[in-house]
Amino acid sequence: MTIERIGVVGAGQMGNGIAHVLALAGYDVLMTDTSADALNASHGIIGANIDRQVARDKVSEGEKAEALARIKTTGKLTDLGPTDLIIEAATEREAVKVAIFEDLVPHLGKDTILTSNTSSISITRLASRTDRPERFMGFHFMNPVPVMQLVELIRGIATDEATFAACRGVVERLGKTAASAEDFPAFIVNRILMPMINEAVYTLYEGVGSVASIDSSMKLGANHPMGPLELADFIGLDTCLAIMNVLHDGLADTKYRPCPLLTKYVEAGWLGRKSDRGFYDYRGEVPVPTR
């Protein structure tokens, strides 16, 4: 399967990052989003992010211009149908993803590969709602996409070898490393990472340590580049909670029960950096712990 034209569904942080790396690798990218404002802002956001690479001499001004010229946008989801590969990077809600794939199916090319950037939802279940479960798989980038080197490739029960090989080829062309994961809740990275973050929230909830002491302990005691609560704020507490619920529901094990404090923060709308408050308050010049 030759892949040259790639559709990206979603112009949020992940969608913009995915379009960014695809375009720099020479792919023609067509992006869509339900928000016209997000689509209109995407070129500027991607350009500013590439500027950081230009400043570090990782990318030339010419390569930046060529990459931005490869990215087109459309307000119509169905315009992505004729592309060779579609990467869905919409919000982490199964109903939203299913609706996107169901809308796309009647407009797809015969050989178009469908993929989801989901961080936890069953690939087999998503694939079953399409006409091509053998050409459907998980294509999970890490955040921030231009920086992180890993991509999880997740096969559903029906995914064929040609589809896996084609997606692995895209990862290699991006200069990233593919990790093959089986289709179980949260795959590899989040199956390990999210329970650690959830346990850090329990440690806070039970008064074992403060936000500052928990994060500094893991940074200095375990050599983590970010503390778990700082990392949760970066990821988004709503996303962390959603993944913990997928683990808890999918594996039926009480060790994956989301911490009530995590639920409370999400109910308050304190979602982390994107809402200016989470385990830290970001409204001042320096982040301040909220507990």
What is the domain range of residue 67? Answer: 5-181
**Residue 186 domain-assigned (yes or no):** no
For residue 225, give both structure tokens.
Answer: 């580049």
**Residue 89 domain-assigned (yes or no):** yes
How confident is the model over 42-101, as pLDDT tens digits? Answer: 999 999 999 999 999 999 999 999 999 999 999 999 999 999 999 999 988 899 999 999
Domains: count for the chain:
2
Global pTM reads 0.91
Q: Which of 42, 92, 120, 152 is catalytic?
A: 152
Q: Does residue 69 share a domain with residue 9?
A: yes
Q: Which of 143, 160, 181 is a domain's end point?
A: 181
**Residue 133 domain-assigned (yes or no):** yes
**40 among known catalytic residues:** no
Q: Which of 42, 120, 190, 198 is catalytic?
A: 190
**213 among known catalytic residues:** no
Q: Does residue 144 share a domain with residue 266?
A: no
Asked if 121 and 92 touch (Cβ cutoff 8 Å), the reply is: yes
How confident is the model over 274-291, as pLDDT tens digits? Answer: 999 999 999 999 999 999
Q: Which of 119, 120, 122, 198 is catalytic?
A: 119
**152 among known catalytic residues:** yes
Q: Which of 158, 181, 204 is a domain's end point?
A: 181
Q: Which of 162, 181, 200 is a domain's end point?
A: 181
**Residue 225 domain-assigned (yes or no):** yes
Q: Which of 92, 122, 140, 230 is catalytic?
A: 140
Q: Does residue 211 share a domain with residue 124?
A: no
CATH of the domain at 168: 3.40.50.720
User: Is 118 exposed, middle or buried (CB count within 10 Å of its CB: 0-12, 13-18, 19+)?
Assistant: buried
CA 277 to chain centre: 21
